[in-house]
Amino acid sequence: MQQYKQAYIRGKWRDVEPVSGISLLDSYSGEPLAEVALAGTKEACDAVLAARQAFLAWSSMPVAVRAQLIRKVGDALANDIDGLAEAITHEVGMPLKLSKRIQVQAPVAAWSAYADMAEKFAFEKRIRNSIVTQESVGVVACITPWNYPLHQITAKVAPALAAGCTVVLKPSELAPAAAYAVARAIEKAGIPPGVFNFVMGEGRITGEMVVNHPEVDMVSFTGSTAAGQRVARLAGNGIKRLALELGGKSASIVLADADLKLAMRHALGACFLNSGQTCTAISRLLVPAALYTECIALLKQGVGAFAMGDPADPATRIGPLVSMEQRERVKAHIAAAVEEGAEIIAGTEAVPPLGWFVAPTILGKVAPDSQIAQEEVFGPVLCVIAYETEEDAVRIANGTRYGLAAAVWSADQNHALAVARRLRAGQIDVNGAPFNPDAPFGGFGMSGIGRENGIFGFEEFLEPRAIQLPA
């Protein structure tokens, strides 16, 4: 059983003085997986002060030297892709074949990408009689969730370090393996002491301490909208730079001329990835009322391909949820939806005897303003909503407090693009277009503030400064 009972501060591992601890269970077998010690404010404060003390030297370091050190972090992580994928699968439940590619390989590659970006970036330019420089924000508190642990850590820490910031990471205690792996990789890469620090602890204690600390200049948070609201209020007290990546209730609009078979197949995959434990999950499927029956038939046919089972089995497409508590929350959402009038199209079949499973669920006859259509479930639950006109579809898609992701399907790409331009969402896929790691990632409305990924995520950690010269 793994023991996660240390913090990494000033380039050294140290045992924490825990205020509490948790025992993690394997998401599939239910067997003991790890013991996690949760630190209090003492370690969090030390981590912030270490980051402050290291900031001047790190931000002043030549960009090429900084970039080379960051590349070495990715190289160190690449040495154990299989082991890290297995650890995340045990914690989160994503099938191993997907964990290796999505949870590990993609973020490992991002470290080199951000190093390259920093070397090519114009940190200084002339605008008339002004020299405009891009300055490192300062000390950044990075608070990350459990569902894509290495990805979320990398999306914050790698660009922050590349931009010349120093970091205090407060990762989720429910998926600690990735944070420990990153800290070990940073140690191996030779990044100077204090540049990166991490402390495992509860959000309401350790997280709030780093958000409130006067030596923290920026907070980058990914998590629930409710938690993000709390972070925003606390950060506002210090007028701190803020980046929030929060919840979603993303919609896919299937237009009347779309390839229905392809659109329905994509809808299932986009909703059920990581058992629905994905902020961008396409959890609302909007179909023309005249084609509703045909779409339901295709969905019922396609859902059978999403086999539940042992995440280590290559045949498994749906793994367990992260915990028993998460499973019960999802089941409660489904029960409430049925009470409101939704119809269960799929999801009543037996689940495996091991693991916190919820069967991939399709709900039909969902009202656009119902609770299930408005609230993030974070489980494998697809809501099918019928619409009469294209105007209806756009109104329904935009009719939640969220605006993280969306999709549009049509045989006419220009038509699909015209509809996509009317959607208030940060990332919109047309006809199943693939994910682009260089494109901005983030949301409108209650889905957050700021953007991650690519140059957009890099620039989040920079502040422009103008120096005026005599004309």
Structure tokens at 137: 């924000």
Q: Whole-angstrom Cα distance, residue 78 to residue 72?
A: 10
Q: Whole-angstrom Cα distance, residue 56 to residue 45?
A: 19
Q: Whole-angstrom Cα distance, residue 24 to residue 53?
A: 34
3-state helix/strand/coil string of 33-55? EEEEEECCHHHHHHHHHHHHHHH
Residues near 388 by beta carbon (within 8 Å), at least 6 away in sequence: 288, 289
Tell me how many degrees the CA angle 155-94-442 measures, rounded to the nearest 5. Answer: 30
Contact 317, 307 (CB under 8 A): yes
- Give me the half-sphere count of Cα atoms (radius 13 Å) on the Cβ side of residue 116: 8
CA quadruple 134, 445, 379, 427: dihedral positive or negative? negative
Long-range CB contacts for residues 392-397, cutoff 8 Å, separation at least 24:
393/253, 393/255, 393/286, 393/419, 394/253, 394/419, 394/422, 394/423, 396/251, 396/284, 396/286, 396/368, 397/251, 397/253, 397/284, 397/286, 397/423, 397/425
Active-site residue list: 245, 279
Count the Cβ atoms, other than its own, within 10 Å of residue 390. 16
β-pairing, 32-38 vs 427-430, is unpaired
Q: Whole-angstrom Cα distance, residue 408 to residue 106?
A: 25
Nearest to 144 by CA among 131, 129, 160: 160
